[in-house]
Every structure is written in C-alpha cells, then in structure tokens.
Structure 1
Amino acid sequence: MAQQGSNNAPQKSKVYTHDIDEQAHNLTQWQQKYDQVSDGSFFGCIEGVNYSDIHAFKEYTERSLRQQCSIAPNSIWLGIPSQSQQSKINGLDVASNQFMCRTSNSDFELITPEQFDIYGLVIDWHSIEYMAQLQGVTIKNLSSAQSARLSVSDSSLQTAKQIINSMVVSKGFGLKPESQQDMLSMLALHLLQADNPQQNIAPSYKHRKAVVDKVKEYVAANPQKTITITELCELTFVSRRTLQYSFESILGINPLRFLRLTRLNNVRRELKLVGQSKPISVIAANWGFWHAGQFTKDYTQLFGENPSQTIANNLKESGLDF
C-alpha cells in the first residue's frame, strides 16, 4: 500500500491485491463480501483520496464478481462505471448514461463484469444536506429502488469521471484541499438534483428479485446443506423455468451455477482461516464436494490456483510460512 501527501494535503492511497477478500476489505469503513464469478486468477486495485467529509476512489477488478455491499454509516455512495460495461445493481442493468447511488440505510448487491473500472464517491450525509441547503438544491428521495440507478447526460457523466480521476490519480487541478472537496460536493449535488430522470422498473422485477432473495437467504441459513433445484422450486413456489429466468435476469447466472460458485467461494474462505488444520478433502466434502478430483478441477478453474496453493499463498501473505 502506497501513501503520499503533506500535512495539509488529503491522504492518498493505492492498494494492489490478488485476493478478492482483501479487495473487499480495502475500501475503508465499508462492509463487503465479494464472490468470484468468472474463471481465472484475481487482480484488483483501489486508488483513493480522503477528505474530511468525502472519500473519492477508483476501483479495478480483473474478474467478474458478485459484491454484497454496505457503505459507511451516515453516508451516501455514488458509483460511476468508467466505461459502458454490463453491470447490475440489485439485479437492475446499469445503462451507459446512468450512475449508481445508495445510502447507508440500504445494503445493495453489485454484479460486475471482467476488467471493471468504477469511480466512487462516499460523502457524509449531513455535509451534502448542508451544501444542498446553501445552494438551494433539492436532493431526490434516495431510498426507493428506482434511485439505485439515476440517469444524467453523457457529458455530465464524462465530466464527473474526469473530476474524480483528477482528485484520485492526479493533482486535483492544482486546487487546495478545501477547494477540491467543494468541487466534489458540487459535483455530487449536480448529479443528485431532483429534476434528473429516474429509470422505470419492469413490473415483474419485484417478483423475480424476491425469488432470488429467498433462495440466497435459504442458502445462507443452510451453508453446508446439499440443495437441489427441486427444493428451491418448492421453496419459492415457482417452476424451474421461472427460477432459472429469475436468476439469469437478476444475477446473470443460472441457479445451479449460483449454488456451485457460492460453495466454491466459501471453501476458499475456509481454507484461508488462520489456524485452520482440516484436510482439504474434509473441507470440500463439508461444502458438498464429494468427488475430490472434480472439486480440484472446478476450484482451480475458478480461482486460477489449486486449493493447496491457496493455503500456501495465504500463509505467505500472513507471514506464517515457516
């Protein structure tokens, strides 16, 4: 992790990692859990700058991820993909003229593609409210599902990305830290103005998301239980076809792949636990992988390393490889 800056300058940082859990933890004051979705070894980077009331950052992730996110308390988050890429927030596709927005009162889930860059602002809610009052700007209701995606002009999004990039990566246009923060606050107000149009949501969305959410809750409550598609259909009172369509539209993967990816990611987390001494085969079997050879093949394909390498790499990173 590299840091720079004088006593008066905002603190900048740049963090690289090859571990998805470290990537999730590297955004300060967030509570996050990343599951890897696409195959191959992971690489991620977060560049950030902290002001008194704003954290601006740029995040890169090499692999497609399912991200479960909760931002810092009493804050608002704005997320702007750097390019027009297929991403989702709470199962809703993010268009090229949209940015994402959530408050600390609303946990959310992101589905991000491979080689994904996103610019982010996390702003203290009281400071943005105060700035809005001073400027006579009305901030829209941000608690609704529609507010997860907000539409603005292409030029506004391009300007926003340039401003955040200058603050995070460059020298903030040569401005003093207080002026940099004011510029970011005004940028956020511009994006959040109440006259910006919101995206309509299809009537079937609520039902599809409810189906997926019920399955996710059931899987989380029964982490090591072998679960069948028939069982999930009975749980959600839908047909196999509706179950599959719900998962593909909300998460971008079918329910069988969701179950397998969830278990593989959980195996990896258990292999990395400090002091963990169970044999790999026992851990795999506990998560429903009975065929050792097929498990190793699937694990290696997803993470770009076999289970033994995960353990060895984790020990090395922890300084325990002696």
Structure 2
Amino acid sequence: MDHIKNSPNLPGSEPPVVMMLPEPNDINSFSPWEIDFRQIEAGPMETKVTVRAGSILTLLNISMSRAVHQTGVSPKGLLTFGIIRRNEVQVWQGQDTSASELLSFGSSDPFDGVSATRFCGTTVSIREHDIEHLADALGLNIPESLRTSATPAIYVHHKRLAAIRQLSEQLTDGHDQPMTENVQEEIVANLLLVANSYDQHEDKSTPLIRSRTVSKTTELMLALLGENVPISKICKEVGVSWRTLDRSFLEKFGIGPKKYYHRLRLNRVRSDLIHKANHYNISDIANRWGFWHLGQFAQDYHNMFGELPSTTMRISGE
C-alpha cells in the first residue's frame, strides 16, 4: 500500500481575494470570463466578488444588490457550474430556473440569464482534464448536462448541494478553511454525484459486495490513518466506485466514507491526548494523524467531542 501514500496534504497559503467593484463588468479585467452584466432594477448597485483558486478548481463568488440581465461566454478549457439558491436566478438560457440550485455553463458556451434582487452565487470551474481524471478514479460518469449549457439547469434537489454550497462558502468567506486537494476533490465528486443522481444511475452492487467493501476500506483506512489519503485513491485501491463505497458506508454507519475516515483519525488524536499528554504537544499529535491546519482541526475536534483539544489535554494531565 506504499504506492498510494501521500506527503502531508498541506493547505494552500493563498487566502481568498475579495473585491468591491465599482460596476459589475469590471470582473472582465481580471478573470477569464466574458460577461456583460446589465442592471435592470433601479437603485444603487453593490457588487462584491471573491475568488479563491486551488490546484484543482477555482471558486468565484459574486453578489449583486440589484437584479441584472447577464450574458456572456464561459471560460475556455474549463467546465463551470453555478451553485445558487432557489429563486435567485429566474431565467437561464430562456428557461424558468427559479426552482433550480445547480446551473451548467459548459465550456466556452454562451449563456443568458436574469438574476433576482440580492443575488449571490458561486461558480466552480474545473479544468476538463482534471474532472475527467477524477471521474475515472471515482468510477463516475460526466453526464452531458455538465458538459454543455444546452441543458442549463439540473433539476435535482440533493442534500449534497447544500454540502457543496456550505463548503464553497467556507472557502470563500475566509482563510480558516484550508483549500486542500481533498477538499477540492470532495466538491468535484459531490457535483458529479448530484448530476448523475442515484435515481438515474442506480448502484448495482449486492449486499455481500457492500459488506466486503466496508471491511476492505476500513482496513485500508486503519493502515493509512496518518496519511489522510483522498477517497478517490481509496476507491482505486479497493476497486469500487465512489457510489458503491458511499452507499456501503451510509447503510452500515449512517455517514459516508470521508466522514468516517475523518472521525476515525479524530478518535486517534483524542486517545493520544488522553494517554500521551505529558510527552507530546497538541500540534505534534494532530500532525501524526494527518491534521496539518490546526485552526480547522481544533474546530473539527470541538464539533466531534464537544470540547477543544486543549481541554482534553488539560483534564487528562490533572
């Protein structure tokens, strides 16, 4: 299993870039987008843009205080998707999309839409080569609805959309959430799962296959607890698709494989804090189990155990 080990998955050091634009079309001066925003609602316009680029994808969050008609062409060489809330975009490519939460821009495709007052949305742009490579590693399809703006709105309300939106907002709101390769992969994988949807592409695995999948995966996770290996590499090693792996873990534990792996590593940290508090500091113990961003680690630890790592260490040392 040495061939799938990683070096520490350190977060990028670049924080989000936040800009207040005098007028929305100023976005064309620093981004690969070709956009023409036309304000169609009277009143003062405020436009805020936040950009955060990672090794796999780029997030661009834009908020505007007035309704606009927007036309343009999506960036070449990228597949781009829009994460929105219901009723924030009224019309997209000539269709009523007020009930949609996921839009497709395609690659180098024209688009035309009308957004509502106080619009706020995030685009996720991924290089075509990267999304194809990741889809292959996860055993997922890239449906045509993601490759073109001809099918502009994907009408599927999936709990994963809320997770994608929350994670994207955390990444663009500040530097506390590290933009690691694992986090970026999670966004792309969830987008693929949403677009495919379980109803359209049913998992064909048997209960026996799913049981064996869980056993093989948990064994692998135990062997690689300090590595924080991406789930795509675990899928490849175990020989199953993300869909089968996800279903297997949800059936047995009620949580997905990524969350299980994360919580397993947090458990190991807590054990060390309780039993080795006098010999190591918190950062050393966190690093040992693959946690390199201490701010995010402390938050995750508190969410899991209801106390900070320092509290656990202090109580164990008394």
TM-score class, shorter-chain normalisation, is 0.5 to 0.7
1:80, 1:118 within 8 Å by CA — same for their partners in 2? Answer: yes
| Contact 2:104–2:148 (CA under 8 A) maintained in structure 1 | no
Judging changes above 3 Å, is the alpha-carbon distance between structure 1 residues 87 and 28 closer, same or farther for their aligned structure 2 residues?
Answer: same
Determine whether 1:188 maps to 2:186: no
Structure 1 residue identity aligned to 2:124: L
Aligned partner (choices 47, 56, 63) of residue 50 of structure 2: 47
Match of 1:317 in 2: none
* TM-score for both structures, normalised by structure 2: 0.54
**Cα distance per residue 1:200-239 (max 9 Å; x no partner):** xxxxxxxxxxxxxxxxxxxxxxxxxxxxxxxxxxxxxxxx
Distance 1:194 1:75, change over 3 A: farther
Note the C-alpha offset of 1:25.
Answer: 1.9
Contiguous gaps of at least 5 residues in structure 1: 1-5, 198-322
- 3-state DSSP of counterpart to 1:191: helix
Change in 2 beyond 3 A, CA 1:39/1:95:
closer
% identical equivalent positions: 14
Which moved further from structure 2: 125-134 or 151-160?
151-160
Q: Is the 8 A contact 1:97 1:157 kept in 2?
A: no
Rounded to whole Å, the distance in 2 between the matches of 1:196 and 1:160 is 20
Please give the residue correspondences for 1:112-261 in structure 2 after superposition, counting only pairs within 5 Å: 112-142=115-145, 147-171=151-175, 173=177, 175=178, 177-193=180-196
- Residues 82, 119 of structure 1: 8 Å contact kept: no
Letter in 2 for 1:153: H
- Where 2:168 maps in the other structure, the secondary structure is helix
Cα drift, residue 194 of structure 1: 6.3
Q: Which residue is 1:93 aligned to?
A: 96
Tell me, yes or no, if the aligned pair for 2:109 and 2:148 is still in contact at 8 Å.
no
- How far does residue 85 in structure 1 lie from its aligned partner after superposition? 3.0
Partner in structure 1 of residue 222 of structure 2: none
Q: Distance in 2 between matches of 1:49 and 1:193?
A: 26
The one-letter code matched in structure 2 to 1:108 is: F
- Report deviation, 1:94: 1.4
**Cα pair 1:15 1:26 within 8 Å, conserved:** no
**Corresponding residue of 2:31:** 28
Q: Following the alignment from structure 1 to structure 2, what is the Cα–Cα distance between the partners of residues 46 and 91?
A: 26
Question: What are the ranges of 5 or more consecutive residues in structure 2 without an aligned counterpart?
Answer: 1-9, 201-318
2:16–2:52 Cα contact (<8 Å) kept:
yes
Return the TM-score normalized by structure 1. 0.53
CA contact (8 A) 1:102 1:147 kept: no
Select which of 69, 81, 85 maps to 1:82.
Answer: 85
Distance, in Å, in 2 between the alignment partners of 1:113 and 1:49 is: 24
- The alpha-carbon deviation at position 106 of structure 1 amounts to 1.6
Counterparts of 1:74 and 1:181 in 2: how far apart (Å)?
Answer: 18
CA distance 1:10–1:196, shift in 2 (3 Å) = farther
Tell me, what secondary structure is at the counterpart of 1:152? coil
Aligned twin of 1:63:
66
Asked if the contact 1:14–1:47 (Cα under 8 Å) also holds between the matched residues in 2, the reply is yes
SS in 2 for 1:149: coil
Deviation at 1:26, TM superposition (A): 5.8
Count of aligned positions: 190
- CA distance 1:61–1:195, change in 2 (3 Å): same
Which amino acid letter does the alignment assign opposite residue 17 of structure 1? L
- Determine the C-alpha separation between the residues in 1 that align with 2:85 and 2:48: 14
CA distance in 2, matches of 1:86, 1:178: 30
**Letter matched to residue 37 of structure 1:** I
2-structure distance, mates of 1:29, 1:134 = 28
SS in 2 for 1:137: coil
Contact kept in structure 1, 2:75 and 2:108, CA below 8 Å: no
Partners in 2 of 1:130 and 1:15 — Cα distance? 33
Compared CA separation, residues 162 and 89, structure 1 to 2 (3 A)? same
**1:150 partner SS:** coil
